[in-house]
Amino acid sequence: MGGDSGLDVVARYGNWYEGDDDLFCHCLILRNGQLLWLTQGLQAVTVRQGTASAKALSALIAALDRLPKGWLKSNYAGYNFITDAEGREADEIAVLGVQEGDSTKSLRYYAAQPGSEIARQVKEIAGIDAP
């Protein structure tokens, strides 16, 4: 997936921050390793940033070049990329990648299958789930 911008969001995941049902957190993982957390709840919306471990990011980026065939397109992309915290797909993991067998090598956001290795990697990098 070379030649893409380091600022591309390669994964997006949202969930109730560490299980707190009054605080929803979206994590954006950028290709350059930057992490952005947008947290919203009963108080002010906050944004903080961090950096993914180089090893974890490398493993995720490598996996995005060969997403399993049959994964559905993400429900959230483009104008509505940040999920509705109360919607059905609030905790969907969207990943920017290429499906195996796609001869066009078109980058698209796909919904990572729950329990997949890629879903595990994204959740680990995001670090927003209850410990």
For residues 112 and 107, the model is more confident at: 112
- Model pLDDT, residue 1: 43
- Residues 36-40, mean pLDDT to the nearest whole number: 96
pLDDT at 23: 94
Beta partners for 25? 15, 39
pLDDT digits 0-9 by tens, 1-20:
444 688 999 999 999 999 99
pLDDT digits (tens, 9 = 90+) for 57-94: 999 999 998 899 999 999 877 788 888 888 888 999 99
- Measured on CA atoms in the order 19, 129, 17, 67, is the torsion positive or negative? negative
Burial class (CB in 10 A: 0-12, 13-18, 19+), 40: middle
pLDDT of residue 18: 94
Is 35 in contact with 56 (CB distance < 8 Å)? no
Query: Could you tell me if 56 and 63 are in contact, meaning their C-beta atoms sit under 8 angstroms apart?
Result: no
- For position 20, what pLDDT does the model report? 92
Global pTM value: 0.91
pLDDT recorded at residue 106:
85
Residues 27, 81 contacting (CB under 8 angstroms) = no
Helix residue ranges, H only, the chain: 54-64, 117-126
Cβ neighbour number for residue 68 with a 10 Å cutoff: 16
Pairwise pLDDT comparison (87 vs 29), residue with the higher score: 29
Given a cut of 60, is residue 38 above it in pLDDT? yes
